[in-house]
Structure 1
């Protein structure tokens, strides 16, 4: 089915989405002092779960404002949200400007740099926890980059998530982790604010004062908030300088609508080689977060999203953006402040990276069926437990009683296994002198709280 045919089938939903996109764009342009109506045409391709948004004449974002990514990505979230409300499953959203992508207008600046060759063994990572204070021009007023509609400030929240992820990557993946922002509580001399609240731009300015190409790319810009654009570029510039093997950017998301929520992971549409990493991370986040009490239904996308973030594009290494949750949604905001959610989400990010780096596939933890067995009286028999998935060791095996024909004679057990290379097994014994049967319920749970659905089998104690 063609794109046009798809759009024709969903004409009413498409018309609603076009009105929404046009309305958002008009408000955006008005905020910038421009009164202009721009046509919007939307096409759907449901077999690819994609949407193409084509803006007519009158709107072409440029280098100032990082090509409006702080407007276009929230718009994509809106359109995805409203499409799904209409029963349309949309994952990727592409923006065109008079029929062409931005790369056609700015081929030099938006070109993806030559990617570094992947090493057989990775040794280092950059964790970028955004955003932090910038200085507005020409007033020199210091301001956080992100709004805090529910009082939750992403600029100070994300570094705490970065601390969690750094420790996990160092402990479990064995990498050296660099940070794009300072974690010092000393005062930054220019702003008199704690260094840990400053943007990457200022951290890198202090580390490399002579490398203005790294942190001061727009010295002649007249945009009051030009340091936002410089900060976006400073993070991957630093990753390139370090030559790290992977860059993971941590954010919480925000939206004008409090209804939009959930976890998302983005890769750059011109770096499709990064999609497997992004997919592995979102898959592992889904496994780890939903394993925690109270988070079994937390909204997490089924696959990663393509985007056009400068933070991903500029890095010469695999680079992804993790939007852990929406700080503009009350339920998500509560989760973001919960240490259990923080730990589970960052364990998911680290696990997703580690599986991708070692060539493993993210898959659910699942026990293989166990056949019914017979055990002679006064003897025992080993039962091997096999499973799919990638549990974090140590794992606990629980063998409970589902049904016993002789109550009091069937004893449950719990065993811990520390060695991932050793078989997981237990002994099924029949110490009685009388025949009988027991229905066992077997469960496996890993160190991060991920549990496989239990399986049952019957053990019959029989005479030889």
Structure 2
């Protein structure tokens, strides 16, 4: 593990923590049940967290050691990371969420590689949550009632340029360790999602950042590369409460903190029904990868939306060739992003993939992955808004069918799931009693209102049996498992 200052240690479960590998089922069980193995893994996680914190403090010019302890609740799949005295992030710096949330991702990754199943991670600071230190600032605003018919959404795609004080240098907010700049990549994902929501969900879509290629007059950078803060400043110069919350802050990167708050402030101003934030993730470890979706810890009512989006992303991404095994979390994660907290409407964050992992970087630059991932976001939202459950696409069993010679017969098909029309039913041959007499077919269905039925024909003069395999495939490439049945051509 990056940052650990000792030789590789073999924990009791047999894992090398310095180079994590997937734990076997027996290893997972042993770590969960063996107090010694559990304690060893937790101790290693504590050292990693302490090492990350020390580096973070050094980067901010603070030289001190802060104790770290970790407790894992295996029943609830949660982890509590407790920092001792000496570290308390504050409002100027957005409570270090751009440090703490990536730390949580890496700790989750290493815990799971060692056999400890973890989903939600939270932090204590000298025994208290941040909300206890800043009750007014971190209070979740009253939530609007979810409307039965939704009409509008805000798509917020990543960060963008900010100005550093006092020199007024312009810098992107996110690192690009492997050459992919989140600040300029994510807006293309926003374009994809906007088009899908407008077409498939029928909503009006607002954007938190400008997509203009003209130059921002103050920086000389393209408007499309600027953060939301400057876009909203141009739209609402008098609304400094929206985009300029820390005018007297001495922090160099105070406009980064203002930008985080500007996006949900804009969503509240618009009164949209949902806020969908798109990002790529980053980690100190190049091994951490995959798709994650976050909701705010104090807004559990947003979790169903987050889970629906994650489920639909998994379905559509893994339906694409080459992405069948792309890592996608099974459940959304609770965190404390300001971008989710401030919005008075359901608000979630999609971390599409990791810009710090080479395999994820390749995916992020692939138009196929971009389209599939955003189709998943839109579909997950649409199912949630309609009160539907995201479930796998599956064909019902098809009974064997007798068809009279030189006639045809319609056979109705049933399925579970929520496919995107048009659909195709693909019939392939498993066996045919007369060589060359049987033909595979594909039937397309455009109308979701009409029942699904295929026509089976026996056009030849003789009897026989063909065994067929049916697959239902939707417009997004999602396909059912094959269902086999027999068609017999019989004489009357």
Which bracket does the TM-score occupy, shorter chain normalised? over 0.9
Q: Is 1:91–2:147 an aligned residue pair?
A: no
Counterpart contact for 1:275–1:304, Cα < 8 Å: yes
Partner of 1:58: 86
CA shift at 1:47, angstroms? 1.7
Alignment of 1:237-316 (within 5 A): 237-316=265-344
TM superposition shift of 1:9: 6.5
- Check whether the contact 1:365–1:388 (CA below 8 A) recurs between aligned residues: yes
2 CA distance for matches of 1:108 and 1:461? 76
Paired residues for 1:23-422 under 5 Å: 23-422=51-450
Following superposition, which runs of at least 4 residues in structure 1 exceed 6 angstroms of deviation? 4-9
Q: Distance in 1 between matches of 2:458 and 2:235?
A: 69
Which range is displaced more, 229-238 or 448-457? Answer: 448-457
Shift of 1:434: 2.8
Q: Hey, what's the Cα distance between the residues in 1 that align with 2:164 and 2:63?
A: 25
Does the 8 A contact of 1:52 with 1:96 survive in 2? yes
Q: In structure 2, list runs of 5 or more residues that go unmatched.
A: 1-31
1:6-21 superposed matches below 5 A: 10-21=38-49
Counterpart for residue 441 of structure 1: 469
Superimposed CA distance per residue, residues 361-406 of structure 1 (whole angstroms, 9 cap, x where no aligned partner): 1111111111112223333222111111111000111111110011
Are 1:457 and 2:457 an aligned pair? Answer: no
Shift of 1:12: 1.2
- Give 1:8 deviation, angstroms: 6.9
CA distance in 1 between partners of 2:251 and 2:221 (Å)? 23
Contact residue 6 and residue 45 of structure 1 kept, 8 A? no
Q: Distance in 1 between matches of 2:114 and 2:93?
A: 32
Contact in 2 for aligned 1:7/1:43 (Cα 8 Å): no
Q: Compute the displacement of 1:94 (Å).
A: 1.0
What are the ranges of 5 or more consecutive residues in structure 1 without an aligned counterpart? none
Relative distance call for 1:164 and 1:375 in structure 2 (3 A) is same
Aligned-residue CA RMSD in angstroms?
1.4
Question: 8 Å contact 1:260–1:326 — kept in the other structure?
Answer: yes
**1:7–1:14: 8 Å Cα contact kept in structure 2?**
no
Name the CA distance, whole Å, in 2 between partners of 1:311 and 1:7.
Answer: 39
How far apart are residue 426 of structure 1 and its match?
A: 1.0
CA distance in 2 between counterparts of 1:33 and 1:442 reads 64
1:220-256 superposed Cα distances (whole Å, 9 cap, x missing partner): 1111000010000000000000000000001111112
Deviation at 1:407, TM superposition (A): 1.5
C-alpha distance in structure 2 between counterparts of 1:12 and 1:36, whole Å: 25
CA deviations on 1:323-380 (whole Å, 9 max, x unpaired) are: 1111111111111111111111111100010000001111111111111122233332
Helix, strand or coil for the counterpart of 1:48?
Answer: coil
TM-score (norm 1): 0.97
Alignment partner of 2:132: what SS? Answer: helix
Distance 2:448 2:228 in 1: 39
The answer (yes or no) to whether the contact 1:264–1:304 under 8 Å persists in 2 is: yes
Partner of 2:24: none
- Count of matched residue positions in the alignment of Structure 1 and Structure 2: 461
Q: Distance in 1 between matches of 2:215 and 2:57?
A: 37
